[in-house]
Amino acid sequence: MNKRINKKGAMELSINTIVIVVIGITLLVLGLVFVRGIFEKLGGLGEGAFQKAEQELKQIQAGDTKINFPATIPVKKGKSANTVLKICNTEGTLEDNSNVKLEPSGFYEGLSVTASGKVVQGTTTQTINLDVVEYQSCRPIPVIVFAKPTTAVDPNTNPVLTITVEKSGSIYDSIATIIEVT
């Protein structure tokens, strides 16, 4: 009878050990998945921060340019992208009758750009009156690019926003920016 009790105790001990090992492995796997998820999120945040810092550095380094604006603006459907257009008076010639012309080309239905309260969409060109920009300084203009969730995207073409700064009726500078809708 003593042998039977020992066998029963040994059997319980073996089952308890197996249960504890299974629970331990399960907790270990769940912990590893949790830690991996945290590192993936941290990697994404770090990458986003480095991209933003790189963009800011490019704008700072472009101090001798007349118009500072990203060459490409990525925007997701149903989201908006915020950026800044900087008009710089590098020649000392921007006076109070200067303006900024925003001209869309190939804009998709549902895509819009807003700058200084002026909305550019479809084929609508907008003009922003530019106050005097002091010599060797820049005037920032906040720009919001928005794509509706229903925006139909053509993978073969990208919309382009042409920005032209005019002073006294002549062109001071002009650039074009590609808008990538995903």
The residue type found at 29 is: V
Instruction: Please write the tens of the pLDDT for every residue from 30-84.
Output: 999 999 988 888 877 777 777 777 766 655 554 567 888 888 999 999 999 999 9
Report the topology of domain 67-181: Immunoglobulin-like (2.60.40)
Would you kindly state where each structural domain of the chain is located, as residue ranges? 1-61, 67-181
What is the value of pTM for the model shown? Answer: 0.64
Sheet hosting strand 72-75, strand order edge to edge: 72-75, 170-181, 160-167, 98-105, 126-130
Point out which residues pair with 3 in neighbouring strands.
none
The per-residue pLDDT for 60 is 53
